[in-house]
């Protein structure tokens, strides 16, 4: 990330962004070319592996000295769709392992500047890459749909039947390669 001062290094801040965002945008390439689609989502991102998730993770560098993003572990993004369509066709054509890119953003606010070049915007975001795959195990499908209902509707532990699960395709993006960014706009001199 070019602006290290905006990089999220705290696992808790990653979870806070996931909680605040309402839509994930998923980009992939298929037989028709490149595309991007916005979707509602649920997720699984555990803070349990971090002793102090509110603290920043240490900075790491590669062997050649290049800064590396923090290791937040695994993020699973859950989605659902019809049994047919471009997304499902692409996942199937890729052998149930479709490479994707994804982006979430929230808390947008435009900040007026004294000149057009001084305008700015504040936001929080997560960007990453991962692998999209259809979930076939019934228990895993139910868990994914419960996460989606919890995130989107605030309804925890919704009971789903096998018949309900048969009427929808549930899929996921699994990622260990993602970064977070927070851009706040500083107050002008003398501002409160």
Q: How confident is the model over 164-192, as pLDDT tens digits?
A: 999 999 999 999 999 999 988 766 554 54
Mean pLDDT of the 57-70 span:
85
**CATH fit for domain 11-183, picks 2.30.110.10, 3.10.20.30, 3.90.1150.10, 3.90.1200.10:** 2.30.110.10
Range with the poorest average pLDDT among 29-33, 100-104, 120-124: 120-124
Q: What are the beta bridge partners of residue 76?
A: 44, 174
Residue 165, classed as helix, strand or coil, is helix
Residue 111's pLDDT is 74
Instruction: Say how far apart CA 159 and CA 151 lie, in whole Å.
Output: 15
Looking at every residue in the chain, the average pLDDT score rounds to 90
CB 185 within 8 A of CB 120: yes
Residue 102 has pLDDT above 50, yes or no: yes
Instruction: Say how far apart CA 178 and CA 8 lie, in whole Å.
Output: 10
Instruction: Say how far apart CA 17 and CA 179 lie, in whole Å.
Output: 11
Confidence of residue 19 (pLDDT cuts 50, 70, 90): very high
- Checking phi first, is residue 95 left (phi over 0); if not, alpha (psi -120 to 50) or beta? left
More confident residue, 15 or 191: 15
DSSP-assigned states of every residue in 88-153? HHHHHHTTS-EEEEEEEEEEEEEE--SSGGG-EEEEEEEEEEEEEEE---HHHHHHHHHHHHHHHH
Residue 1's pLDDT is 45
Residue 13 has pLDDT above 90, yes or no: yes
């Amino acid at each position: 990330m070019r602006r290290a001062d905006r990089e999220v290094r705290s696992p808790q801040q990653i979870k806070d962004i996931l909680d605040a965002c309402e839509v994930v945008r998923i980009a992939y390439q298929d037989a028709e070319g490149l595309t991007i689609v916005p979707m509602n989502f649920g997720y699984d991102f555990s803070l349990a592996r971090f002793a102090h998730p509110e603290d920043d993770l240490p900075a790491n560098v590669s062997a050649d000295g290049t800064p590396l993003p923090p290791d937040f572990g695994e993020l699973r993004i859950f989605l659902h769709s019809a049994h047919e369509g471009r997304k499902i066709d692409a996942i199937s054509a890729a052998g149930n392992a479709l490479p994707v890119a994804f982006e979430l953003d929230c808390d947008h606010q435009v900040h007026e500047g004294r000149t057009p070049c001084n305008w700015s915007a504040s936001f929080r975001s997560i960007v990453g890459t991962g692998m999209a795959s259809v979930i076939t195990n019934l228990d895993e499908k139910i868990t994914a749909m419960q996460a989606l209902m919890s995130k989107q509707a605030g309804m925890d532990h919704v009971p789903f039947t096998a018949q309900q699960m048969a009427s929808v395709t549930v899929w996921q993006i699994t990622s260990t390669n993602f970064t977070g960014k927070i851009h706040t706009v500083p107050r002008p001199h003398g501002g409160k």
